[in-house]
Amino acid sequence: MSKDINIGLVGTRFMGKAHSNAYARVSRFFELPANPVLHSACGLELDQVQILAKKFGWKNAETEYQKLIQSEEIDLIDICTSNDFHMPIALEAAKAGKNILCEKPMARNAEEAIKMYDAVNEAGVINMMIFNYRFLPAVALAKNLIEHGKLGEIRHFNAVYYQDWLVDPSFPIVWRHSKEKSGSGAHGDMNAHIVDLARYLVGEFEAVTGEQRVFVKERPIQDSDQKGEVNADDATSFMARFQNGAIGSFSATRMATGRKNFMQFELFGSKGALIFNLERLNELQYFDDTSQNDTKGFTTILATEPSHPYIRSWWPPGHIIGWEHTFVHQISHLITSISNKEEATPSFYDGVKCQLVLDAVVASAEQEKWVTIKEFDKN
């Protein structure tokens, strides 16, 4: 009989809901060596936690995350809070010997992230970063193609992450607008994804130079006549050099009028090219430069075949999946790792590496020059 893994979730808003959904679904579609149990959910407002708990089957609703960490039953602490709480919760959880899953960005800066990394390594607990877009069938297929040499030497990786929810100047101040709480704005929230994908698909970064902007400098404070100052970036763009010689350009913005959750990357190699767009996440465009001459072109692969990653668990070809499925896929790996006591990927190491790139971008924007990514090796 399969083992239970008790989950303690901290944070019950957007990501709390997405993770709850994944825990509740994963065993229905994937054969796992253990069974995630929705043990305790924790959030700031009890009624909100109770609603989530009732909907998704969390056995306990709490408002103090320490209770989850202190619980002897809980195997995994899942951190879905605002970014300023990632480090304190992770440090305490590691100390208590809990396995940890953490939402991206890992922390407000690399200093915090490294402390978290050290803590989980000292404690010897399984640790994983949510970089859920690695777990899209189309992206995992892209990774397979690259690993099989289909793209050749990679020269360009250009990625954008476009949203537009800050175009409206009457959109009120939230924690994401405050550097203190979030570390950064679009940068940490959105560039974290495409930086991780770049590391996954291309390799390590060497140096970056970036630019950050706040276009709307004041926003109304909710339930108030006053305005508050926005100091977290609305948009951050940067160029990058990779260690393998490729170059890249990256742009994250919440001011891309008309784009809702448009994350696109283009990868050009000596033998082929790949294009992916999150708003059509079931599709991967692939150009095979080694194919028959007269019929070359970008092929739109509908990544819904049983042979494509993760798809066999779902529906027949052409019956597309959605954004939420990425969490189910990632959590299937996490549960397996915990059950098998194996390292999970992407781990806190990947979180630190991503954060070092993000921090270098911020430094480069301040200094107006290229900044080399700090070295950081696995223990």
- Nearer of residues 163 and 347 to a second copy, judged by Cβ: 163
Query: Using the rule CB under 8 A, is 170 a contact of a second copy?
Result: no
Span 224-243, contacts to a second copy by CB under 8 A: 235, 237-239, 241
Per-residue exposure over 220-242, b if at least 16 CB sit within 10 Å of its own CB, e if not: eeeeeeeebebebbbbbbbbbbb
Span 250-269, contacts to a second copy by CB under 8 A: 251, 253, 255-262, 266, 268-269
Which of 197, 273, 356, 361: binder of a second copy (CB under 8 A)?
Answer: 273
Q: What is the DSSP letter of 176?
A: G
* Site stretch for a second copy (CB under 8 A), options 78-86, 180-188, 196-204, 248-256: 248-256
- Nearer of residues 268 and 349 to a second copy, judged by Cβ: 268
Span 172-211, contacts to a second copy by CB under 8 A: 209, 211
Bridge-based pairing state of the strands 3-10 and 60-62? unpaired
Per-residue exposure over 245-255, b if at least 16 CB sit within 10 Å of its own CB, e if not: ebebebbbbbb
- The string of DSSP codes covering 52-82 is HHHHHT-SEEES-HHHHHH-SS--EEEE-S-
- Nearer of residues 118 and 266 to a second copy, judged by Cβ: 266
Structure tokens at 180: 């203190």
Which of 85, 171, 287, 376: binder of a second copy (CB under 8 A)?
Answer: 287
Nearest of 15, 14, 33, 36 to residue 25 by alpha carbon: 36
Span 322-341, contacts to a second copy by CB under 8 A: 322-325
Residues 259 and 225: their CA atoms lie apart, in Å, by 30
Span 51-70, contacts to a second copy by CB under 8 A: 55-56
Query: Using the rule CB under 8 A, is 304 a contact of a second copy?
Result: yes
Which of 12, 27, 71, 191: binder of a second copy (CB under 8 A)?
Answer: 27
Query: Using the rule CB under 8 A, is 213 a contact of a second copy?
Result: yes
* Site stretch for a second copy (CB under 8 A), options 80-88, 110-118, 127-135, 304-312: 304-312
Span 345-374, contacts to a second copy by CB under 8 A: 368-370
Query: Using the rule CB under 8 A, is 301 a contact of a second copy?
Result: yes
Residues 146 and 244: their CA atoms lie apart, in Å, by 14
Site string for a second copy, 120-159 (x = CB under 8 A): ---------------------x--xx---------xx-x-
Name 76's bridge partners: 7, 99
Structure tokens at 325: 């499925």
Nearest of 92, 253, 265 to residue 184 by alpha carbon: 253
